[in-house]
Amino acid sequence: MTAAASALAMAPVRSRARPDGWLLAALAIAAVALLPLLALAWTAAQGSDAWPHIVANVLPQAARNTLWLLLGVGALSVAIGTGSAWLVTAYDFPGRAVMAWALLLPLAVPTYIVAYAYLDLLHPLGPVQGAIRSVLGHEGPREFRLPDIRGLAGCIVLLGLVLYPYVYITTRAMFMTQAAGLLEAARTLGASRAAVFRRVALPLARPAIAVGAALALLETLGDIGASEFLGVQTLTVSVYTTWVTRSDLPGAAQIALSMLVVVVAVIALERSGRRRAGYASAMRPRPMQPQRLRGAAGWGALALVALPVVLGFVAPATHLAIESGQRIVDGTGVSPMLWRSTWNTLRVALLATAATLAAGLVLAWALRLAQARRRTRLATAALRIGSLGYAVPGTVLAIGLLAPLAWFDDGANLLLRAAGLEPRMLLMGSLGALVLAYMLRFLAIAGGGVEAGLARIAPSLDQAARGLGAAPRRMLARVHLPLLRPALAAAALLVFVDAMKELPATLLLRPLGFETLATWLYADAARGAYEDGALAALLIVLAGLLPVILLARTGLTYGHEVAPA
């Protein structure tokens, strides 16, 4: 690049007197994203007649269960995620290459499906207890039965087995990129393997552990299916039952506000964990050379990292596949409701993906234009506000959307009456409301993905396009969108799969009689007909495998570049 071109690329673009349409659109999207939270506070302020009862009888138990659930799942996720990341990074043992990506597989199974599968697997008349009784020579459950997994302890174990990959992936990336010289220096000073891990590797990885643990805790807080199946009354379950069972929207909003306090606490804890670990090294990062483990030590390491994969993915996925196959072989057939639910799921997920990608593109492109003008405050704020929905549990977001949807319908009905038309609900209980909820919930994925993709495009291309007279819209269409295709495809895939799996917001906002795979499975499990939902659960798991494969391929490529064999 010549000096003149460099100067042109670095020079700020003069702002024009007319309003920036992209920035206005980004601010409008941010306002829509902020509206549910403001409406939630407004709804809660209306007061609930049942609030004294909720405070006395519901909140203490729900808050206590939620706290223990967060502590238990957090501890289990950190232990499994950090330990497995250290083993596959620092040591070489049989099957290590396969385990490096297989440890991500539990991410493909939603928490409510794991709970559903294990309730069936560990039922007193199920295959596991039946096999144990057969080996021990017992004839029936009255002679021998395992403890019931329903309860707080069972919920902690199952959620921990599904959510540990959040800690694993962030911590392993840190182990792979941190200076290996520090670890070798510790070894040459006589530190044992355990001491190197405890005194050098673990403190260096603490920021990554904090990020992964925060993601796992936010997923735990938003869970509704697994907690309800396992009989654990959490804050999320309380919000759902208060609204659906008691039709007490202000009461549900008040509980939801208390959940936001927990969300803020989790995010603050994660920031604190990162801030207090400000380690830096002047040494050039280079790959860690794994130590070879031979004999029993190697097979022991393989068993340790394989156990969470087997329990978190292989066992539930295999059970679902067997149940689905048996139903097909037995001639039970596939319910027409399954096809209808699959079509509904695909339809709403595709619409939500398109809407979310469009909104994310507007937010990220407005920030790109603002960066060229060196006026990024409003555009940055719009992007950050638009990302709030990802940190908010789906149940809270859905409760916050109810009031704005009702306000919109009331305003529209005034116009309909003035025009002599019959009033009706336009948004409330419609497919549009569900798409809007999904868009707000997953906007952070699309906005962040497009922002990252734009960051890889040199600013000089923008300057060159402007120099040739291209307006922002033409510049986006002709220059940036072709270069953004990989980032857009990855973001679309992640949003689509998350939308397919989404349960809490769907339960509260879906149209009457509209079932997705997730809600159909939830209904089957709620009435105890677990086997009927096996095929629906298997379809959700198969869809969930797509982003995991993408993530594993990216991680392996990254690992290959950083740590060549």
- Domains of the chain in sequence order: 21-557 (1.10.3720.10)
What are the two backbone dihedrals, phi and then psi, of residue 117, each rounded to the nearest 5 degrees?
-65, -40
The tens place of each residue's pLDDT in the chain, 565 residues long, gives: 444 444 444 444 454 545 588 999 999 999 999 999 899 889 888 877 777 888 888 889 999 999 999 999 999 999 999 999 999 988 899 999 899 989 989 988 888 889 988 988 888 888 888 888 888 888 777 778 888 889 999 999 999 999 999 999 888 877 877 656 677 777 777 777 778 888 888 888 888 888 889 889 988 988 888 898 898 999 988 888 888 777 788 888 888 888 888 888 888 877 777 665 555 555 555 667 788 888 899 999 999 999 999 999 999 999 888 888 887 777 666 677 888 888 999 999 999 999 999 999 999 999 999 888 878 888 899 988 888 888 888 888 888 998 899 899 888 888 888 888 887 778 888 899 999 999 999 998 898 888 888 888 888 888 888 888 888 888 888 888 998 888 888 888 888 888 988 888 898 888 888 889 888 888 877 776 666 678 888 888 888 787 777 777 665 544 443 333 3
Say what the pTM is: 0.83
Residue 178, C-beta contacts closer than 8 angstroms, at least 6 positions apart: 201, 204, 205, 281, 285, 288
* 257's tokens: 């506000």
What are the two backbone dihedrals, phi and then psi, of residue 292, each rounded to the nearest 5 degrees?
-75, 130
User: Is residue 504 a contact partner of residue 224, using CB atoms and an 8 Å limit?
Assistant: yes
User: Is residue 285 a contact partner of residue 177, using CB atoms and an 8 Å limit?
Assistant: yes
Residue 67, C-beta contacts closer than 8 angstroms, at least 6 positions apart: none
H or E stretch at 91: strand 91-92
Per DSSP, helices labelled H in 231-314 are 235-244, 249-275, 295-309
Report how far apart, in Å, the C-alpha atoms of 75 and of each of 115, 210, 213 are. Answer: 19, 11, 9
